[in-house]
């Protein structure tokens, strides 16, 4: 996948969000880490409809869904504020599914691609390789 100059790459799972900007060229990307973003978890994701019980025991899954909804809200706001022109989202499969539920139409229009893979905690080089291979 080509990575446009100044594109934002969001790398996420249910607990971590890393944002990177392509400071290189489309054919020679160079990701630069951006400052940590403050993700609100007050917006409960779809998991909020499910109560924890013996049949559905995961309170942590509800927390992860809320974090994903918070990531989507942050990305939606940045797109609507004109801070993001091109976006690639790399997320753990379940997190990516939850993110998609909360994408604004404007964000969908700026989305260059998605990669369903957990790369949080990986090096910038690993992220660049994953984008190039997609």
CATH number for position 103? 3.30.420
Q: Is residue 41 part of a domain?
A: yes
Is 14 inside a domain boundary?
Answer: yes
Instruction: Give domain status of residue 57, yes or no.
Output: yes
Q: Is pLDDT at 82 greater than 60 in this prediction?
A: yes
Q: What are phi and psi of 38, to 5 degrees?
A: -90, 110
Tell me, yes or no, whether 2 lies in a domain: no
Q: Is residue 74 part of a domain?
A: yes
Is residue 55 in some structural domain? yes
- Distant-in-sequence contacts of 59-64, Cβ < 8 A, 24+ apart: 60/14, 61/14, 63/14, 64/13, 64/14, 64/15, 64/94, 64/95, 64/98
Residue 1 lies in a domain: no
- Residue-level pLDDT at 58: 59
Sign of the alpha-carbon torsion through 49, 51, 57, 63: positive
pLDDT exceeds cutoff 80 at 43: no
Report the pLDDT value the prediction gives residue 53, as an integer from 0 to 100.
47
The phi, psi pair for 9, rounded to 5°, reads -115, 120
Task: Specify the pLDDT at position 65.
Answer: 83
**Comparison of pLDDT for 89 and 134, the residue scoring more:** 89
What tens digit of pLDDT does each residue of 90-108 get? 999 999 999 999 999 999 9
Number of domains in the chain: 1
- 39 or 48: whose pLDDT is higher? 39
Residue 45, pLDDT score:
46
Domain with 23, as residue range(s), is 8-133
Residue of 36, 34, 27, 37 lying closest to 128 (CA atoms): 27
Q: Is residue 107 part of a domain?
A: yes
Cα-based angle 105, 116, 77 (whole degrees, multiple of 5): 30
Q: Is the pLDDT of residue 2 over 80?
A: yes
Mean pLDDT of the chain: 87
């Amino acid at each position: 996948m080509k990575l446009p100059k100044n594109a934002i790459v969001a790398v996420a799972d249910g607990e971590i969000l890393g944002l990177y900007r392509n400071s290189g060229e489309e054919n020679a990307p160079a990701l630069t880490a951006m400052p940590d973003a403050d993700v609100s978890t007050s917006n409960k994701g779809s998991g909020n409809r499910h109560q924890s019980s013996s049949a559905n025991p995961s309170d942590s899954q509800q927390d992860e869904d809320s974090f994903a909804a918070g990531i989507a809200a942050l990305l939606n706001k940045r797109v609507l504020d004109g801070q993001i022109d091109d976006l690639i989202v790399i997320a753990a499969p379940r997190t990516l599914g939850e993110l998609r539920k909360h994408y604004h139409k404007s964000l969908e229009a700026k989305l260059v691609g998605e990669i369903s893979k957990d790369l949080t905690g990986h090096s910038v080089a690993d992220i660049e390789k994953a984008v190039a291979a997609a």
